Chain A
């Protein structure tokens, strides 16, 4: 898992603008290389995106994606926290299950999609299940790690103060674990989004992933590029915000 660097001394905003500028420049160069048949130009895409967003059916697709994603995220977080805390507290279960979750984390879950489709059918439940399948494991693993690795001195302090088990959780373990848990939620957010979108790409009649797949089928490059842009901007914006919060939590948590 990645560890983040401390915030830069040079303004983060300057870096971000530089990066976005570089990426758009790269896009334009790729457009020149690949030509009209390979990719839509940045300017063209922004124009098309503006039109796409205003189209009547777009709001319905967006709503579908967001509701599937929202449900999946809620389930991932609640299930992940519960299982993570359980594994963290119960030494034996933690030792038994942790390697299993680690290997589950590494398997290509995409291969399981036909099974999920057969089990849930096309539509919302399959999308949610696929999102949860991707998102829940990092939440479990990070929560588990956070609870397990609470600094011993904090636990000793709690014992000296004769805290009961529930007080220990409330006042010591939970606050100490918050930064790590938040990292898990951040990773869980990204993976749930990817899972939901992948499910839409492969098996759905609605949502942004479906828009992307139909555009691929119709070879509508402007739409492919526009939907890709929307997804990328949304994912990058939210996960940057979460990352910023994450770093603050880790910084003050020390």
Chain B
């Protein structure tokens, strides 16, 4: 395991070193991309200056809010849907093709209806994330062993108690898988809509820097988003693995 980690580290370090060499040798010209060590320096400077704090807080707050809404609504809808077989069959083609549709196409409509604030962005991120939670939760609920459901019935648990104490915990590994996707989608939704049209946030700042050829701002912000999403993702992955391990697969 440690050997694998070493290899992984070597691959990533090698890729960064290659990029550094290509940048220093001017194969990649500085207008396209700055050398990684300069990006890191700018990253630290930008964070230290506090210039981007408002944008960072705005984007993160919206992302967390959209994720929370998608998670709560997705769980609730999945639990309700699981009992309505006919409705579920009808919605099935929608879920199956949902992610083939570019949800951003609805952003202008939301702006017209709700104004150019945070709400349209949160809605887009919510719409992107909620179906992943629903599909994965349903998937997990379908795999709850029948014996657990029978036990719940023997103990005369009501539907709410059954969901909270039996089915949802039993489906937990799948649910966390869905939540992981929802985090990624929340980020994509918020930052994407900030790119398209907005008045602030990290996506807006990246777009602004791009239009002004301001690589000293653009690359550090991109790095920030990548680091944040990888960090969230690996945190949830770890949780997912422990849940899987506890269930003995």
Contacts and interface: CB of A to CB of B under 8 A. Distances in A.
Given A110-B191, A240-B97, A5 B92 contact: yes
B100 A238 contact: yes
Interface residues of A, number: 65
Which DSSP category, helix, strand, loop or mixed, fits chain B's interface? helix
A118 interface: yes
A190 B108 CA distance: 22
A146 interface: no
A129 B198 CA distance: 26
Interface stretch (A151-159, A170-178, A227-235): A227-235
Contacts of B104: 198, 201
Contact of A110 (B105, B192, B197, B233): B192
Interface in A9-68: 10, 12, 15-16, 18-19, 22-23, 34, 37-39
B109 A39 contact: yes
Which bucket holds chain B's interface residue count? 35 or more
Contact of B184 (A2, A15, A107, A239): A107
A4 B96 contact: yes
B218 interface: yes
Contact of A106 (B97, B112, B233): B233
A110 B188 contact: yes
Contacts of A253: none
19 contacts: A2-B135, A2-B136, A8-B92, A15-B89, A16-B93, A19-B90, A19-B91, A103-B230, A108-B187, A109-B188, A114-B207, A114-B210, A190-B99, A193-B102, A198-B102, A201-B104, A224-B105, A235-B100, A240-B96
The 3 nearest A-B residue pairs measured at CB: A190-B100, A239-B100, A235-B100
